[in-house]
Amino acid sequence: VSSISTNSPDLAIELDRSRPRGLRAQIEGELRTAIRSGRLAPGTALPSSRALAADLGVTRGVVVGAYDQLIAEGYLRSRQGSGTVVNATAGPAARPGPASSAPVPPVAVDFHPGVPDLDLFPRSAWGRATRTALQTLPDADLGYIDSRGLPAARRAVAEYVGRARGVSADADHVVICNGFGHGLSLVAAALRRAGHEAVAVEDPGYDGARDTLALAGLQCRGVPVDRHGLTVDALDRTGARAVIVTPAHQNPTGAVLSSDRRTALVDWARAVDGYVIEDDYDAEYRYDRQPAGAIQGLDPARVVYSGTTSKSLAPGLRLGWLVLPDELVGPVTTLRRAADSATSSLVQATFAAFLTAGDLDRHLRRTRLVYRRRRDALMDALDRWFPEATPGGVSAGLQVTITLPDGMDEARFVERAVRAGVRPYPLDRYRVGPRRRSLDPAGLVLGYGHLTPAELEDGARRLGGVAAELPD
């Protein structure tokens, strides 16, 4: 029995040459089995009869005959001008998938925090930058590259964060990664391997970061946040030698870390021989106060700086960067190499072209105006419909907090709100420890960047209605 197979387009058909007169039946049989088993999915285009015949070493008539038979049987159909495809009604029942998470009831206005307006993504500028990258990227950059990233992308990022955020960066200390969470997971793994057992986190603070730390085998130690940001003098009690902090616009309270505390924070890192992990959250969107530069500039040897395009462009890009202290560059790069090697070099080259052409600056100028208008619209609407709520963190970012009037319970408020067609997010999901009633008022987070002024008005009206109906 000798058999050959087709290389093209990978149908994996095997013919038994010892039965030459059965060739058409063999092709039919192979295709039928492949379609019934789901190996050839509905809609799949088959090769032309000429191509398949050439690949299998049979006459074209054999393949045409097999195709015709299967069209007659309903397995295949002819598509006007584009050959033969697997019929939509063919194929097996779907294998049951894993259970999906419980469905979230739909609401008219969802204040989910943490995403920009994706409709503002600069598709044509990104397309232009992609063309530039495809035209100019050297072949070698399509291979296995430096795990820190392409030198051109690292240089462009170093230049940008230096200029826009006062970060002291050169390309050697930049690692291009797949967003903030990815960068944090690398740094957390490096700290764990260096003997760290715990990391201090803001309380309230970003819950996703705590998940990432826990997966790296690190404990989270909550440190209270007040209106000047992280209470730095409480760090010593934690026993941790590293802390994650959002100094530009604390997530979720919106506090800007005060100047005294910035200095104290870096002093603490030096004293414990540890690190500050600076999540430069929402720093691109500042509306009416002066930008506070990054802490990293105070001591590049003690601060891990982390930025992302998830808020400024789109989370789906999965693109961010770390600027690392010298002694973390090696460990983080080694971990990166053994995990996913590097961020896609085409994405990196595209972003470098995008930055270098000034497209990020242009996009930020344009969207800052849009988001400022939305922020103003939300403030006006809350003032009108829900004046008892005290807003916070309004000077920057894509979300605000509101403090609920005395005695209102977050979970109960959210439950009623969802029934009233609006979804705010309880501060509770950000808290590390239980709420301390006296210090820590009940509150909600309202993400507004993705909502139009009309939606914001509607949402505020619904929130005010819920508050009015809740008994004190």
Pick out residues in 190-209 that bind a second copy (CB under 8 A): 208
Instruction: Choose the binding region for a second copy from 69-77, 162-170, 375-383, 411-419 (rule: CB under 8 A).
Output: 162-170
3-state per-residue secondary structure call for 353-385: HHHHCCHHHHHHHHHHHHHHHHHHHHHHHHHHH
Residue list 102-141, contact with a second copy (CB under 8 A): 114-115, 118-119, 121, 123-124, 126-127, 130-131, 134-135, 139-141
Strand partners of residue 226: 229
- Applying the rule CB under 8 A, the residues between 269 and 298 that interact with a second copy are 284, 286, 290-291, 293
Nearest residue (CB) to a second copy, 362 versus 429: 362
Q: Cβ distance 413 to 466 under 8 Å?
A: yes
Q: Using CB under 8 A, which of the segments 156-164, 224-232, 384-392, 398-406 binds a second copy?
A: 156-164
CB 335 within 8 A of CB 350: no
Can you tell me which of 68, 211, 376, 409 binds a second copy, judged by CB under 8 A?
Answer: 211
Smallest gap from residue 213 Cβ to a second copy (A): 9
Give the burial string for 103-125 (b: 16+ CB within 10 Å, else e): eeeebebbbebbbbbeebebeeb
Q: What is the 3-state secondary structure (H, E, C) of 246-259?
A: CCCCCCCCCCCCCH
Does the footprint of a second copy cover residue 1 (CB under 8 A)? Answer: no
Contacts of 24 (CB under 8 A, 6+ apart): 62, 63, 65, 66, 69
Q: Provide the 10 A C-beta neighbour count for residue 97.
A: 6
Residue 367 near residue 158, CB atoms below 8 Å: no
CB-nearer residue toward a second copy: 280 or 410: 280
Which residues in 298-357 contact a second copy (CB under 8 A)?
300, 314-319, 326, 329-330, 335, 338-347
Q: Counting every residue, how long is the chain?
A: 472
Single residue of 73, 170, 197, 415 touching a second copy by CB under 8 A: 170
Q: For a second copy, which residue of 113, 149, 181, 459 counts as binding (CB under 8 A)?
A: 181
Closer residue to a second copy (CB): 147 or 238: 147
CA distance 398 to 115: 8
Site for a second copy in 395-434 (CB under 8 A): none
| Rounded-to-integer distance, Cα 69 and Cα 30, Å | 13
| Contacts of a second copy in 42-81 (CB under 8 A) | 43-45, 47
Query: What distance in Å separates the CA atoms of residue 193 and residue 332, rounded to the nearest whole number?
Result: 10
- Which is closer to a second copy, CB of 129 or CB of 463? 129
Long-range CB pairs of 140-144, under 8 A, 24+ apart, other chains included: 141/345, 141/349, 142/345, 142/346, 144/341, 144/342
Report in angstroms how near the CB of residue 75 gets to a second copy at its nearest: 14
Of 27 and 319, the one with the shorter C-beta distance to a second copy is 319
Residue with smaller CB distance to a second copy, 125 or 470: 125
Minimum distance, C-beta of residue 384 to a second copy, in the bound complex (Å): 28
Which H/E stretch holds residue 275?
Answer: strand 275-279
Nearer to a second copy, 254 or 320 (CB): 320
Rounded least distance, CB 120 to a second copy, Å: 9
